[in-house]
Structure 1
Amino acid sequence: MPPRQSPPTPAPDGLATVDPSASERIAAWAAAVGVDVSDPKVRLVLHATLLFAEHGFDAVTTREICAAAGTNPGAIHYHFGDKSGLYREVVLRPLQHMAQAFAGFDDPSLDLPTALDRFLTPFLSTDDCGGPDPIRLYLRELLDPSEVFTQALQTHIGPNHHALARLLARHIGVAEPDAGVHQLAYAIVAMAHDYCLSRPFMDALTPRLLDDDPELRALRRRLVGWSVALVAAEREARATAPSSSALP
């Protein structure tokens, strides 16, 4: 999980700007995950991620992004075509990384707990190779999804959702995922998502709750156990239902 961040301080002239520690945050993240920030294209993506997350797409100018990244004013046009092209790269980078991290979770040779553990790990990983603090950007997108974000979800996350649904259907004992199986898939994802997106609320309501589990390994084991129990409950409900059709 990315570290919790304090709200940015508004710029005195009303222009969008990153907080003064942005470069240090990016440098620390890059050093931790082995990303070369000497590449101006990489710097543009990382600084744009912070700016878009803190201020939104419309409030940020290409001049401000280039200044924050330490590149010449034409760098965005050279590398991405325009600001929209840069935003597409910002949105895609973490989703592509997460999609790659899912690889192999639906291998039929894996038992259900192992498969679910592999699936849930990217949601709870502290190795945030997608970029520094993408969560705030995605929270903005959840409130007002852009076409770029919607297309990226369909392309990079959609196949993994359907793979999870097929995995669950197999262990429930149905030939193909139906509405109930898809709902179960979303319920399992929602449990993991809550620990990504709701950590500030958890920290406020139950301070230090996860301090003894900094890498969230114990939490992941619990989520796997709860998910297995949900699958068992769905399988039992279908077995005892008067009809073999999908439950409402």
Structure 2
Amino acid sequence: MTVLLRSSTTLAALLLLLPKTFVLGSVKLVMQNGGASQCQTLWAKHTIAVGNVCVEADQRNPEQLIVSYETRDGWKLDDAHLWIGRNISEIPFMADEPADDSKRSVQQQQHQDQPYQKQQQVDLTQFPYKKEDLAGKHENFGFVVKLQHLGYSCPDTQAFVAAAHATVTARSSIRNGNTPTLQSAWASHIEPMKKHVLQGATMINRINQWQDFNFTLVCDIKNDPPEGAPKRHFANQVPK
């Protein structure tokens, strides 16, 4: 049995016909265009593309995924954090502070009927996958994610939500004798844009403090033959 990674669930109707007792066999991850992995751009400061984060099959172990980080253009990894779940509401957040009206923007103060909304900060220390000693010396790093730990079993077409974070630094600044600048970076399929929030008659720009992306594991309807089973031939092949 093969497992496919797609950004949509076009096979969902067929998969409902599959037995509920499938045992996970080989894993194959593809995008809608048939690629071997699903990659997102790693954005620093919301606008600087510093690398990629890719979800792909572990070719040596079909029971797990590899989520790999790769930087480019002189950027290096200082740390990496990863969270994967079913619902973004499950992502660990820092304890919310009481709203402080003194922090209301000018636009918000003009609309007293609109409560001050403080953006929650994710708690990276609570992410289940983390590597915090890369020290700005590496361009590549990968996490091993067990499918069992994700609660995945076939057939299951519910999408996963992933939040992939990294702290990156430009090593060129070190070579030039400048103090390296650490930047927080998040993986997203599009460049993070300012959100336009309508409050009264005023449009207020907001930028997400963190980003996420979705992926879906889809079980193929073709089963691997059991061990010792006779070889089957396609109609256009002549048995030897």
Band the TM-score falls in, shorter-chain normalisation = under 0.3
Which has the greater radius of gyration? 2
TM-score normalised by L of structure 1: 0.21
**Which has the larger share of helix?**
1
TM-score normalised by L of structure 2: 0.22
**Which has the larger share of strand?**
2
